[in-house]
């Protein structure tokens, strides 16, 4: 295992000094020094659920693919089907290893120029993903560029997000965007991507532009009273909405089929990992990701054992919280598939005590996306 990075080695986003000025609690995340919270995780979480909040997500990676065979190549490395979807659309899916394990989960943007794609990848995986993509691009007539340092990104999320974009930033076209669509405009002469996407379960937008433009947009949003939010509530929000986090619910060992994300794998085309995933879909998996609700306010943390009522260990918690929105103790857990059916009684061992619960749907919170 590699040694943890020192503070001097950690990368900083273009908004780092803004976070420090706001006295955010900072902590290492995915190789970056990132804000965990500004006020409290609960206050920030409820701001996004009830009104609007914003996140610095400039640590995410932006990899561009273009050229005569860009579509053919991206469709080969991506589980979802990109052929036939229009410019201005966004798709979610995975890149997989031949054995079905996950390289990363990502967004693919079909740009307005022919045979141009933007791949938005997880911060911790930028270097690994780029190397993997470059290696597999050999033999395809396309160019792959990692432009991650050239971009900043702000996520504006919550029921009031559209109003903020239209009234504060003046982006009236944002109101016409459907979920998982985007448009291009300019900010101070540089490209700005306005995308109706997010990772919270609420309506919202992600704004991509230069680092300088990102700082300026952040300042305008702060001046308008938008609540800055840290990665602490980004995790509680995505978890309630049933959204996976790479490294917890997806990994080289946890496939899309195991994670219940098979709907993002299109088996009527070829892609890396297809045969392994088809075999898993046919029954060749040992464990499945489930939701569990326990009958107590105790918090089921990642790594805690999952047991049957008789005491047999059958799984492990991947993410768990006492839900801020729902006032319930809930978790994701990877369990033996024989115990994955809804309403199956399961227990979480928290230190020396065992707390009874049952399997429930992984989307704990009713999401509020604009269709």
Q: Where in the chain are the domains?
A: 16-58+151-240, 61-140, 286-360
Kindly provide the residue ranges of all beta strands, DSSP E only, lying in the chain, ordered along the sequence: 25-29, 32-37, 53-56, 61-66, 90-96, 102-110, 116-121, 143-146, 152-157, 182-187, 190-195, 204-209, 227-229, 287-294, 305-307, 313-322, 329-336, 345-350, 353-360
Band (8; pLDDT cuts 50, 70, 90): low
Best CA proximity match to 337, nearest among 243, 255, 252: 255
CATH superfamily of domain region 61-140: Aminomethyltransferase beta-barrel domains (3.30.70.1400)
- Fold category of 16-58+151-240 in CATH: Gyrase A; domain 2 (3.30.1360)
**Looking at residues 200-209, what average pLDDT do you find?**
98
Q: What is the pLDDT of residue 131?
A: 98
Q: Is the pLDDT of residue 1 over 50?
A: no
pTM comes to 0.95
- Is pLDDT of 249 > 90? yes
Level-2 CATH architecture, domain 286-360: Beta Barrel (2.40)
Please state which of the ranges 6-15, 64-73, 102-111 shows the lowest mean pLDDT.
Answer: 6-15
Q: What is the pLDDT of residue 9?
A: 82
Q: Answer whether 61-140 and 286-360 agree in fold.
A: no
What pLDDT was estimated at residue 284?
Answer: 83
């Amino acid at each position: 295992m590699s040694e943890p990075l020192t503070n001097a080695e950690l990368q900083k986003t273009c908004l780092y000094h803004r976070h420090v000025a706001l006295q955010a609690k900072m902590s290492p995340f995915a190789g970056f020094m990132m804000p965990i919270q500004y006020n409290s995780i609960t206050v920030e979480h409820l701001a996004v659920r009830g009104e609007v909040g914003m996140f610095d997500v400039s640590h995410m990676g932006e990899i561009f693919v273009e050229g005569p065979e860009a579509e053919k190549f991206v469709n080969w490395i991506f589980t979802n089907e990109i052929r036939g979807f229009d410019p201005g659309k966004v798709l979610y899916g995975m890149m997989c290893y031949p054995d079905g394990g996950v390289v990363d989960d990502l967004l693919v943007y079909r740009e307005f120029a022919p045979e141009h794609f933007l791949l938005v990848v997880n911060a911790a995986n930028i270097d690994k993903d780029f190397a993997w993509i470059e290696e597999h691009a050999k033999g395809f007539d396309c160019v792959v560029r990692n432009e991650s340092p050239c971009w900043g990104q702000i996520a504006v999320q919550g029921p009031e997000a559209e109003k903020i974009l239209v009234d504060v930033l003046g982006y009236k076209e944002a109101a016409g965007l459907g979920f998982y669509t985007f448009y291009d405009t300019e900010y101070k002469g540089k490209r700005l991507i306005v995308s109706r996407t997010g990772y919270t379960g609420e309506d919202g937008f992600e704004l991509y532009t230069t680092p300088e433009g990102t700082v300026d947009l952040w300042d305008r949003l702060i001046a308008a009273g938008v609540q800055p939010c840290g990665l602490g509530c980004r995790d509680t929000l995505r978890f309630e909405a049933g959204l996976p986090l790479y490294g917890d619910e997806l990994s080289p060992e946890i496939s899309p089929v195991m994670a219940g994300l098979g709907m993002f794998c299109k088996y009527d085309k070829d892609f890396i990992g297809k045969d392994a995933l088809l075999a898993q879909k046919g029954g060749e998996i040992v464990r499945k990701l489930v939701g569990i609700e326990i009958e107590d306010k105790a918090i089921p943390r990642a790594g805690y054992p999952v047991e049957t009522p008789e005491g047999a260990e059958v799984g492990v918690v991947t993410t768990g919280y006492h839900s801020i929105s729902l006032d319930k103790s809930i978790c994701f857990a990877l369990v033996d598939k024989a115990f994955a059916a809804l309403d199956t009684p399961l227990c979480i061992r928290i230190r020396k005590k065992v707390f009874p619960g049952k399997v429930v749907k992984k989307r704990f919170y009713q999401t509020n996306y604009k269709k």
